[in-house]
Amino acid sequence: MGLCVITGAASGIGLELARIAAAEGHELLLVDRDPAIEQVAATLSGGAVVADLSTRDGVDALCSRLAGNAPDLLMLNAGRGLGHAFMEQSEDAILDVIETNVIGTTMLARRIGQRMAARGSGRIMFAGSIVGYMPGPYQAVYNATKAYVNSLSVALSNELSGCGVTVTCLMPGATDTQVFERAGMQETPIGEMKKEDPVKVARSGYDAMMAGREQITPGVMNKIQATAAEILPAGMVAELHRKIAEPRD
């Protein structure tokens, strides 16, 4: 079935994507800054790269491991969350989110996407989010990075149309992963509410990618939220987001 590269595959949606790809018979190369990726890869009989994709060294490490080859599937899932008020967030934390979600994702899409386009085949999937449509008080930087990813993926889908490479953007809503804990958002309404199953989200994304779909938002309620966010005034959307993301005092 060919080589499948998945970033951010140590847990959450990335891990579920890896399990699906392994079950479908793909050769795996899994990437994460968490050393646990080595055990995940061993369990799924794949290769592992421990790399921090927020850095140029991390991006270089993955591209060097590919040794000039182009994978058949590239799932750009690595991402970092960040909650709380923007003015209270540390500059290091803000930069980590931007450098992981935006810069690392962009550079990998360009470097590996070039190889796919030169070969004339391949499938790329970006992990976007419905929050990319929402100005996000108490999650402002994260939402802004997802707006970037959502936009970049559709632009690349258009640019690459006809060359044999498809681009899909998976845009889920709140999903039951470690992202809220890592973002310090456990004591917020969104951190406490029931969330989407990452197994189902990953399956929706994988199937959409294999079908060559440009975008996929799993779940009826998520589709409604995404549509409402595009229709309602931005200030109203921001106020609604504040109600779910503001920490409880």
Q: Report pLDDT digits (tens) over 124-165.
A: 999 999 999 999 999 999 999 999 999 999 999 999 999 999
- Domains of the chain in sequence order: 3-245 (3.40.50.720)
Q: What are the two backbone dihedrals, phi and then psi, of residue 49, each rounded to the nearest 5 degrees?
A: -130, 115
pLDDT at residue 249 above 90? Answer: no
Cα–Cα distance, 21 to 5 (Å, whole number): 10
47 or 238, greater pLDDT: 47
Examine the residue annotation and report whether 142 is marked as an active-site residue of this protein.
yes
Angle, in degrees to the nearest 10, between helices 140-159 and 91-98: 20
User: Tokens 């796919």 correspond to what residue?
Assistant: 116
According to DSSP, residue 86 is labeled G
Buried b / exposed e across 133-147, counting CB within 10 Å, b at 16+? bbbbbbbbbbbbbbb
Q: Give pLDDT, residue 27.
A: 97
Q: Give pLDDT, residue 229.
A: 80
Give the pair of three-digit tokens for residue 187: 């004591």
Q: Give pLDDT, residue 240.
A: 84
pLDDT at residue 234 above 80? Answer: yes
- Give Cα separations from 44 to 20, 49, 66, 189, 205 (angstroms): 10, 14, 19, 35, 19
Q: Report pLDDT digits (tens) over 11-66.
A: 999 999 999 999 999 999 999 999 999 999 999 999 999 999 999 999 999 999 99
pLDDT at residue 118 above 90? Answer: yes
Q: Give pLDDT, residue 177.
A: 82
pLDDT at residue 83 above 90? Answer: yes
Residue tagged active-site, from 133, 142, 148, 206: 142
